[in-house]
Amino acid sequence: MIGRLVSGAAGEVRIRVCGASIERFLNVALQGEIGLWNTVRVDARTIETTLSLSDFYALRRLMGRTGCRVRVIGRRGLPFFVARLRRRWILTGGVCALALVVVLLTQFVWVLEIVAADGIPVSALRDVLRETGIYEGAWLGQIDTDDTRRAIQSEIPEVGVIAITRIGNAVRVEVDAAVPTPDRIDRAAPTGLVATRDGVVSRTAVTGGQLLVQPGEAVEQGQLLVSSAVPNTTEWGEAHRAHGMGRVMAYTSRTATLLCPLTWTESRATDRMTTRYALTLGDRRINLYLGSGIHTDTCDKITIEKTRLSIGSRLMLPISLVRETCRACDALPVSGTAQEVGDAAAQTWLDRLAQTLDGTILDSRWTIEEEAGAVRVRVTASCEEQIACEMIDRTPLPEKEQEEPAE
């Protein structure tokens, strides 16, 4: 297979052999070590076959012994291609210049894809990448991925895992957020639990420290619920410091006042579509339409499709065709009754509370008052939630009771 490819590159000729002694021709070719392939017999006096260019020149010296005539019916290979280009030097020069430009362009970064997790500023990440030599139009030889990783971690502390992948002349940077280390209090430190909200204790589950409240007791925000000072009535035999841990559930009440308008404006999409095109050459954009590149406020959704010119799937060129499709929309006034608007606002607030609450909502109620084209909604939610928060506790240790002397 490789030999055939080399022979094809060196040039090969398709010939038609005519004569009464076709068998003699084949024997002469075999004795002269001339390789023939793709041999087809056309009729009793004619065959068609293929041989290399060097074997064709060697066959010409042996044709007198065969009594056959040879006619060339096809040529293929690099020598014939070069011979045709030799007569068209302008075209040849243009092809070579184009190939040189393409090779040079593929030595630069033309696609920079940044995938960042939520909370990581993409603009700051792009600035750091530019400072370290990774940007659209940068030379591939100047990219140092290790130096880039160190720069990103020092400039953006929110970054955790960094992955920089280069495929051809396209660079993909994936950045994940760092897992925050929770503020932990030393397990050996004397801590207690204090209330974060007012409420009535419903149940407790304390695994360290001295519990100071019981279910059914009302507590206030900031009140000490579990003390680090453990008296000498415990199984340890004497008073000591402990690390207070556990959960204290309490019945609490959450309230909020919401003010919502009765009339507002909504955008409704229409069937009117606008499509326009543009070319990008590196960082430069050439609009293939008249007017400004900014869409009006009546545009509901913009779909941008970018097709980049490439060589295969790995080598990208700095030329892209941009197709923008815009769907027009109409701004329509919308109004609702006081009851509808109030119910929707209260339910939205309750849904958000349920997502952030360390507990459950037991009951909810709200009142609606209409005033000057708006509604005022007062929402109250009865909850059972965890209210204990761990803090350093310096409560003095209880003194040991003195035993009375025996009479």
- The DSSP-derived string for 310-358 is EETTTEEEEEEEEEEEEEEEEEEEEE--HHHHHHHHHHHHHHHHHHH-S
Q: For residue 30, give the CATH number of its domain.
A: 3.30.70.260
Same domain, yes or no, for 316 and 339?
Answer: no
| C-alpha distances in Å from residue 350, one per residue of 337, 362, 381, 387, 393 | 20, 11, 8, 19, 35
Q: Are residues 314 and 341 in the same domain?
A: no
Which domain-ending residue is among 39, 62, 81? 81
Instruction: Map tokens 């280390």 to a residue.
Output: 181
Number of domains in the chain: 5
Question: What pLDDT score was predicted for residue 320?
Answer: 87
Single pTM value for the model: 0.51
Task: Tell me how far apart the alpha carbons of residues 284 and 322 are, in angstroms, rounded to a whole number.
Answer: 12
What residue type is assigned to position 243 of the chain? Answer: H
Q: Is residue 399 part of a domain?
A: no
Judged by DSSP in three states, 27 sits in helix
| Segments in the chain below pLDDT 50 | 1
For residue 243, give the DSSP letter: B
Question: Among 250, 231, 252, which Cα is nearest to 242's?
Answer: 231
Q: Are residues 30 and 68 in the same domain?
A: yes
Q: What is the pLDDT of residue 351?
A: 94
Strand 315-335 and strand 224-227: the pairing is unpaired
Same domain flag for 126 and 148: yes
Q: Which helix (H) or strand (E) holds 81?
A: helix 78-86
Instruction: List the Cα angle 352/357/361 in 5-degree steps.
Output: 85
Residue 201 maps to a domain: yes
Question: What distance in Å separates the CA atoms of residue 21 and residue 134, rounded to the nearest whole number?
Answer: 71
Show the DSSP H helices in 139-184 as ranges.
Answer: 145-155
Residues 6, 77, single domain; the answer is yes
pLDDT of amino acid 204: 92
Which pLDDT score is estimated for 140?
A: 85
Q: Is 92 part of a structural domain of the chain? A: no
CATH (domain of 119): 3.10.20.310
Q: Which residue, 275, 270, 263, 271, is CA-closest to 330?
A: 270
Based on C-alpha coordinates, what's the Rg of the chain? Answer: 42
17 forms beta bridges with 47, 70
In this structure, is residue 403 part of a structural domain?
A: no
Q: 42 lies in a domain?
A: yes
Residue 9 counted as domain residue: yes
Q: Which helix (H) or strand (E) holds 195?
A: strand 191-195
The answer to whether position 69 is within a domain reads yes
- Cα 60 from Cα 72, distance rounded (Å): 12
pLDDT of residue 185: 54
Same-domain check for residues 61 and 118: no
Instruction: List the domain range (segments joined by +) for residue 164.
Output: 111-177
Instruction: Determine, yes or no, domain membership for 93.
Output: no
76 and 7 in a single domain? The answer is: yes
Output the pLDDT for position 289.
Answer: 81
Which of 144, 177, 210 is the C-terminal boundary of a domain? Answer: 177
In the chain, how many H helices and how many E strands? Answer: 8, 22
